[in-house]
Amino acid sequence: MSETKYRYGIIGTGIPWREEGSSGFGMANAHYPNMMKNGRAELVAISELLDARAERFQATHGTDVPNYHSYTEMLAEESLDIVSICTWPHLHAEMTIAAANAGVKAIYCEKPMAISWGDCKKMKAAADENGVILCFNHQRRHIKLFQEVRRAVQDGEIGDLVQIEAECGNMYDWGTHWLDMMFFYNNDDPAEWVIGQINSQTENKIFGAIMEDQAVLNFKWRNGVRGYMATGDLAKIGAVHRLIGKEGVIEVLNERSYRILGKGIGEWKHIEVPQGDWSDLALAANDVVRALDEPGYKPLISADNAIQSTEVIFATYRSSQIHGRVDLPLAYEGNGYLDLVNAGVIGPDTK
């Protein structure tokens, strides 16, 4: 293994979730210790607008590095190899593009990707044009249980895959994880079309981004497998994820257990899958470093994967906007949900 030390910087330290003064998850406080776990990255700078937050971060983690109020100044001055972007979604695009243009080798950005589909495409284009490794924190691809479920499907334990189903609270923030997992189970096959409907009647805002109260979407991958997701408090399918094959069913119950009714199994078989010594976040951070060490290696959390599930989110919004099916690739570069809210079609004032 290479002994190269990579120069590492963080944009947006925040405050850890549920601690006094927190306005989000403060994901820098997870990125940093997990990026340090393999001993290959060295924190050399942070960029945080609020001095109190920067000081709190440094005191918590025992660091003493320069804090730049301007992230563009940090990018210009520090010759960073890796940068974590831990800000709210509406800032992701401008920061990712700036980092890619500044010569950063690998960008590890929080999810969701961005506020509009056009911005998502611009982020990936900037990384591709500059030869930058762009990753998003869909770290659940590194959860051992989900990897075991994927293996079971690939090994034919439920026969040919027919449909994948999921439920969660919302599509944009939490749903970005579950849609990503649905693509993961189906070997990241591209989606072909999306049809969906969304509803919004309350003020539902997470990390500065407004999102729907309820959604239902149906889509088809090119290999013929169908996807179904329901979101909202009343969206219950009886499992976190359900994978239906021609000869059996797998139901994911949580991030450590699933059950299978497969070929040659007469009743549900419950299976527990422990995570192991390294968390999913540590394995995701390690994957970023591995991509730097091994040219051509594509991390599980690569933008190549993230952009496919993200496209389904924005295609669902567009489908609800036009009351019809949306064929992919998605041409509309805006955010159909925000368009509907701004037009007064849906939203808290339209009950």
Q: What pLDDT is stored for residue 351 in this prediction?
A: 59
Together in a domain, 217 and 240: yes
Using CA atoms in the order 157, 162, 167, 170, what is the torsion angle rounded to 10 degrees?
Answer: 130
pLDDT digits (tens, 9 = 90+) for 15-36: 766 566 656 668 999 999 999 9
Q: Which residues pair with 260 in a beta bridge?
A: 250, 269
pLDDT digits (tens, 9 = 90+) for 120-165: 999 999 999 999 999 999 999 999 999 999 999 999 999 999 999 9
User: Rounded to whole angstroms, how far apart are CA atoms 225 and 104?
Assistant: 38
Together in a domain, 241 and 116: no
How many domains, the chain?
2
Contact 132, 104 (CB under 8 A): yes
Q: What pLDDT is stored for residue 219 in this prediction?
A: 98
Together in a domain, 14 and 113: yes
Asked, for residue 1, whether it belongs to a domain, the answer is: no
Asked, for residue 133, whether it belongs to a domain, the answer is: yes
Together in a domain, 259 and 292: no
Together in a domain, 209 and 316: yes
Q: Which residue matches tokens 């295609």?
A: 315
User: Rounded to whole angstroms, how far apart are CA atoms 309 and 304?
Assistant: 10
- Tokens, residue 192: 């072909």
The CATH number of whichever domain residue 105 belongs to comes to 3.40.50.720
State which residues form the domain around 150.
141-276+307-350
Together in a domain, 285 and 185: no
pTM: 0.95
DSSP 190: P
Together in a domain, 178 and 213: yes
| Parts of the chain with a pLDDT under 70 | 1-2, 16-25, 351
Identity of the amino acid at 147: Q
Together in a domain, 202 and 156: yes
